[in-house]
Structure 1
């Protein structure tokens, strides 16, 4: 008989987690003003808030931690990280940062100014926040297929070239500092971008003289989908595909807490020496010296190993197969999710799950709270609260989709946990018609409100 799939690792250390009662959870979420970010972690049984920095490191990474070089300037650990990044991306210049949004802050301080236009595929929250904080505008050019959750399309993260060219034709070149390609595209459901589309965006951008940058937090997962789904890519290694992806860009930002397989860290990688010099000044101001940028030597050493491990097929197959395992269970139960299943998370379609909850009462947030109360599972809303207010009109923005993202930490939970999650969602789904009201905002910050927002029952 054919041997069943088995994870390419074994468990060496475990961390206890505590189950709570439904009464406890209802009290805790009320005290947290119905914002799952406000919960203390020991009040969560299975934490799917994010896959950012929540995974488990390998024995090789823990070993690298012990040999980290903590020299202030020019440490050996920086050289190890540089060699790893250069091997995978081909980029000549590297600036470490303490995490991905810090990389955005440094690079956008150089490139983005008042009145600029930054087109791309469904910019994520911190990315859009950094753009709008500088009084610039992010324009979503994602293909329309991405917003039909039932439609099967292999690359729902793709940029619509017609939409992109319209941006290039509408605004002067001087107002478009770059096109940003997010791989994989988190906001549209962890959906990949095809190699063909990346190359086409590069060619179109060259025609108009516009640079191309990558938001690369999940670049290895994107390369996995290219290998699995795109014609002519099946016999290539993940590292070969990654090298070609980055050859079509001028640089990248990276949240290393995702496909770097570490708990903290980020970086900027570039080919342009002038931009590197300018960004170096902001790195020194905001982060630290240019050869550590807010990271310890041991963190850089672990990241160098993590990037190598994350770009191996066996690891990626294990990681993405577990996400698909959960997603397929939900599909079999009739629960509406973004299809096909993305690389790092299952995105539950809250508009179809809770049709009786008004948009202005935030159905995705309502569903996320119900899932927590049901089973102690913490997900996150990717909907109107995250979409924030229009910076000019201050009206709520209502995106085309309202998701609850169940982000799966890397090498952390077993499939028994996935079974538990699926059963919990089925229980909520079975009583969905009893849920007819959601929440209203009682307090919010001026930008990126979803992290700290306070809610009351509507």
Structure 2
């Protein structure tokens, strides 16, 4: 019998869930334009669309909600959050935002001039969108190993330093607005970035006078992988690893709805650059709110201050990442191709391998996600060419290096019995993938199309 880590918590409250019939799921998917984002939550049995804001808060966080100071300016909860950011990241300046994209819309126009490039291991969807809305160009330079889902590499999220150096020399350092390191690297399959790579990226950037920032949504999970996989860090605490990671950056944007374990919230963290902080603080007022609340209520800031500390607890991370690994191993046993090794927040199924007969511009991962929903009521999300969108200049569909179906595990919400249901559903789909057909648009928005697009199956 396999050893399974028990949950490091007791269950105090439950929310009933139920599965609607296949006929109703078929009707729901058609009504939703074959876009899983457009389903109603009560039409979904097990919801693995995202881990963003979908986690279960602790009794300590709920207790913090009751101590919310809803003062418009200078809330006590803001000071608690700011002190926590100083304690966890050792950053002097904190600006709360309503979520990660709020942080990006405030910060990126300060960092980018028109036509400048933003370099990343891999930008996530909203990050890329905010670079482009700031009239910049997003460039992904993750290592090549990330594209081979069957090959083991402990840090597939690493930035390719040689390619980065070549790109800077080709375009000129003055044409690079900033480097942003996504930890963990979501679009590459939830893959971590090593401390060595972060440190060397910082060294390279300093050589050229380029600022380094972190997309810190899943910073704690990245620190866990460094502790587990990188020599010299096995005896370090998660907190020590986090402080070192962030010492190599100028600042960070964070969707706190992930490793902050809250339902809503974001942060701009700035290490010690008062000039940058002053500019960001001025911009946050018209976009998000007064600098000491930035789109959040006092109670939300208090829950976040407490969640940041809970999120770096080793026992919690060991259980949380262990559950993701449990699902990954179930799928591997069934010979379903996934991104290996399993990442921190999700299992990424290689839909391109499973559905080789469907071309990238007919969105194989979206097709696979729809089939899984029809089979078992499980909702995942496409991370591939549908998400990647079109070239902002040529308007051609961009081809993603990987066509992935992301099965994203909310924090402290589901049990391993639920993971078994997910695995069984995908195994059933595997037996009939040759019957699946591609998708085409009936409506395509210009920005972040995968959220609200409508599609239909292609008829032969």
Whether 1:170 and 2:170 are equivalent positions in the alignment is yes
Query: Mapping of 1:94-173 within 5 angstroms?
Result: 94-173=94-173
Query: Mapping of 1:190-339 within 5 angstroms?
Result: 190-270=190-270, 271-339=272-340
Counterpart Cα distance in 2 of 1:28 and 1:227: 44
Query: 3-state SS of the aligned residue for 2:188?
Result: coil
Query: 3-state SS of the aligned residue for 2:186?
Result: coil
1:280-303 Cα shifts (integer Å, max 9, x gaps): 111001011000000000000000
CA contact (8 A) 1:104 1:130 kept: yes
Counterpart Cα distance in 2 of 1:65 and 1:95: 19
Query: 3-state SS of the aligned residue for 1:241?
Result: helix
Aligned residues: 457
CA contact (8 A) 2:361 2:386 kept: no
- Give the CA deviation at 1:173: 2.4
Moved more, 164-173 or 152-161: 164-173
- Give the CA deviation at 1:172: 2.6
Counterpart Cα distance in 1 of 2:155 and 2:179: 18
CA contact (8 A) 2:365 2:383 kept: yes
* Matched residue, 1:57: 57
Counterpart Cα distance in 2 of 1:5 and 1:114: 50
CA contact (8 A) 1:119 1:167 kept: no
CA contact (8 A) 2:5 2:322 kept: no
1:338-371 Cα shifts (integer Å, max 9, x gaps): 0000100000000111122222211111001000
- CA-based RMSD: 1.2
Counterpart Cα distance in 2 of 1:4 and 1:375: 24
Moved more, 163-172 or 325-334: 163-172
- Give the CA deviation at 1:168: 1.5
Using a 3 Å threshold, how does the CA distance of structure 1 residues 97 and 341 change in structure 2: closer, same or farther? same
1:401-449 Cα shifts (integer Å, max 9, x gaps): 00000000000000000000000000001112222x2110111111111
Counterpart Cα distance in 2 of 1:384 and 1:360: 7
* Matched residue, 1:406: 407
Moved more, 63-72 or 214-223: 63-72
Counterpart Cα distance in 1 of 2:172 and 2:257: 36
Counterpart Cα distance in 2 of 1:378 and 1:49: 6
Query: 3-state SS of the aligned residue for 1:178?
Result: strand
Query: 3-state SS of the aligned residue for 1:159?
Result: coil
Counterpart Cα distance in 2 of 1:426 and 1:2: 20
* Matched residue, 1:21: 21
Moved more, 426-435 or 23-32: 426-435
- Give the CA deviation at 1:139: 1.0
- Give the CA deviation at 1:48: 0.5
Counterpart Cα distance in 2 of 1:448 and 1:249: 28
Counterpart Cα distance in 2 of 1:419 and 1:331: 13
* Matched residue, 1:367: 368
1:269-319 Cα shifts (integer Å, max 9, x gaps): 002111111111110010110000000000000000000000110110010
Counterpart Cα distance in 2 of 1:417 and 1:4: 14
Counterpart Cα distance in 2 of 1:53 and 1:441: 29
CA contact (8 A) 1:388 1:396 kept: yes
* Structure 2 unpaired stretches of 5+: none
- Give the CA deviation at 1:176: 1.2
1:312-335 Cα shifts (integer Å, max 9, x gaps): 101100100000000000000000
Query: 3-state SS of the aligned residue for 2:456?
Result: strand
CA contact (8 A) 2:383 2:405 kept: yes
- Give the CA deviation at 1:4: 5.7
1:118-158 Cα shifts (integer Å, max 9, x gaps): 11111000000011122211111100000000000000000
Counterpart Cα distance in 1 of 2:92 and 2:184: 23
Whether 1:428 and 2:426 are equivalent positions in the alignment is no
- Give the CA deviation at 1:33: 0.4
* Matched residue, 2:346: 345
CA contact (8 A) 2:161 2:201 kept: yes
Counterpart Cα distance in 1 of 2:12 and 2:128: 40
Moved more, 424-433 or 243-252: 424-433
Using a 3 Å threshold, how does the CA distance of structure 1 residues 179 and 19 change in structure 2: closer, same or farther? same
Normalised by the length of structure 1, the TM-score is 0.98
